């Protein structure tokens, strides 16, 4: 075999080997692309979780459970199954979340259920609408929220019946002894902590420079000249602030931030427990 024939033979083998490698590589390309997409999605969810924790949990809850009467839950089956149909949105759920977070809401779309934070009901978060977040950050938040879809509970059927009669709106009733541990759990579940501890949406329970905690402040509040409620004790004032939130509105805060239905959604024991927890903030 001549040198030329050998070179042709070796060249043919090289071409065939290269072609085989390309075919083998190509057969695995779909899986590699899918793996890369999963990695990128996982990174987006991780970044979105941190952004949600810093910017969203105060209103929508650490686990997306929402704040009754104020902000809707996001970790909720309804969002992923029925919300698009109810609002007439023809795109994807993820795009709806991006659009809502980006531009915010001037008014609540369900004022009978969620009053919103005030005016606007939800601020705009995108830089395009004078907000603080880039569009890629908002996409990451949406990816994190979408991560709840497979396991989202149906919160419309949660809760069941109260363990006893509702506490009502008579602030002179004698409450049972409160349990601070259960009160803390209720304060988290009902969204109280989100507005009064984690964020300054409502008057802070904790003490700050020159301002005592809510335990001491409640006793001072009823002595103020501008107090127009009917409470005569610190405990009555705290109960009034829970079940009759518009009886007295602290200066500097809107009168529609606090849910007005706790008188019918809390038992006397629930109210006593929450008040007991509030009284730990000296």
Does position 10 have pLDDT exceeding 80, yes or no? no
pLDDT at 86: 93
Please give the share of the chain, as a percent, with pLDDT higher than 70: 94
Per the CB < 8 A criterion, the answer to whether 265 and 166 are in contact is yes
Question: Shortest CA distance to 242 belongs to which of 170, 158, 182?
Answer: 170
Cα gap 152→112, rounded to integer Å: 23
* CA distances for 143 relative to 54, 96, 97, 170, 235, angstroms: 16, 12, 9, 45, 44
Does position 208 have pLDDT exceeding 60, yes or no? yes
Name the residue with higher pLDDT: 26 or 53.
53
Per the CB < 8 A criterion, the answer to whether 93 and 84 are in contact is yes
Section 2-24 average pLDDT = 78
pLDDT at 161: 65
Name the residue with higher pLDDT: 28 or 163.
163
pLDDT confidence tier of residue 192, bands split at 50, 70 and 90: confident
- Compute how many other C-beta atoms are within 10 angstroms of the C-beta atom of residue 169: 16
Q: Which fold has domain 180-278?
A: Cytochrome Bc1 Complex; Chain D, domain 2 (1.10.760)
Question: Domain coordinates of the chain in residue numbers?
Answer: 57-151, 180-278
Query: What's the predicted TM-score (pTM) here?
Result: 0.59
pLDDT at 117: 64
Residue listed under structure tokens 């072609």: 19
pLDDT at 20: 72
For the chain, how long is the longest CA-to-CA vector? Answer: 113
- Take residue 265 and report the two structure tokens written for it: 């959604």
pLDDT at 41: 87
SS3 percent helix, strand, coil of the chain, rounded to 5, is 50, 5, 45
pLDDT at 162: 78
Section 105-117 average pLDDT = 80
pLDDT at 32: 75
Please give the share of the chain, as a percent, with pLDDT higher than 90: 56
pLDDT at 113: 77
Cα gap 215→211, rounded to integer Å: 11
Does position 195 have pLDDT exceeding 90, yes or no? no
- Compute how many other C-beta atoms are within 10 angstroms of the C-beta atom of residue 163: 8
* CA distances for 142 relative to 16, 148, 165, 211, angstroms: 47, 10, 40, 38
Residues 131-186 pLDDT 10s:
999 999 999 999 999 999 999 999 876 655 678 899 999 999 999 999 999 999 99
Q: Of 5-9, 143-147, 156-160, 262-266, which has the strongest mean pLDDT?
A: 143-147
Name the residue with higher pLDDT: 45 or 253.
45
Per the CB < 8 A criterion, the answer to whether 118 and 254 are in contact is yes
Per the CB < 8 A criterion, the answer to whether 266 and 169 are in contact is no
Per the CB < 8 A criterion, the answer to whether 263 and 245 are in contact is no
Residues 37-63 pLDDT 10s:
888 889 999 999 999 999 998 788 888
Provide the phi-psi class of 64: left if phi over 0, else alpha when psi is between -120 and 50, else beta.
left
In this structure, what are the phi and psi dihedrals at residue 47, rounded to the nearest 5 degrees? -65, -40
Question: Residues in the chain, how many?
Answer: 282
Name the residue with higher pLDDT: 115 or 99.
99
Cα gap 202→157, rounded to integer Å: 28
């Amino acid at each position: 075999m001549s040198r030329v024939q050998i070179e042709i033979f070796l060249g043919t083998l090289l071409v065939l080997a290269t072609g085989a490698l390309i075919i083998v590589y190509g057969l695995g390309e779909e899986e590699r692309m899918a793996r890369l997409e999963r990695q990128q999605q996982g990174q987006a969810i991780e970044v979105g979780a941190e952004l949600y924790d810093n910017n969203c949990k105060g209103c929508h809850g650490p686990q997306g459970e929402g704040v009754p009467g104020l902000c809707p839950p996001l970790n909720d089956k309804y969002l992923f199954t029925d919300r698009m149909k109810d609002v007439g949105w023809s795109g994807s759920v993820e795009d709806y979340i991006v659009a809502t977070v980006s531009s915010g809401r001037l008014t609540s779309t369900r004022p009978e259920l969620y009053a919103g934070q005030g005016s606007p009901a939800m601020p705009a978060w995108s830089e395009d609408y004078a907000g603080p977040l880039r569009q890629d950050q908002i996409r990451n938040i949406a990816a994190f929220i979408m991560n709840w879809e497979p396991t989202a509970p149906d919160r419309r059927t949660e809760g069941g019946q109260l363990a006893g009669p509702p506490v009502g709106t008579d602030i002179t009733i004698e409450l049972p002894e409160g349990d601070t541990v259960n009160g803390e759990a209720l304060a988290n579940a009902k969204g109280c902590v989100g507005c009064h501890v984690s964020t300054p949406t409502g008057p802070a329970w904790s003490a700050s420079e020159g301002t005592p905690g809510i335990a001491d402040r409640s006793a001072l509040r009823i002595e103020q000249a501008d107090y127009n409620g009917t409470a005569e004790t610190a405990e009555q004032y705290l109960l009034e602030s829970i079940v009759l939130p518009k009886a007295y509105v602290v200066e500097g805060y809107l009168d529609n931030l606090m849910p007005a239905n706790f008188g019918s959604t809390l038992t006397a024991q629930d109210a006593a427990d929450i008040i007991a927890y509030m009284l730990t903030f000296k």
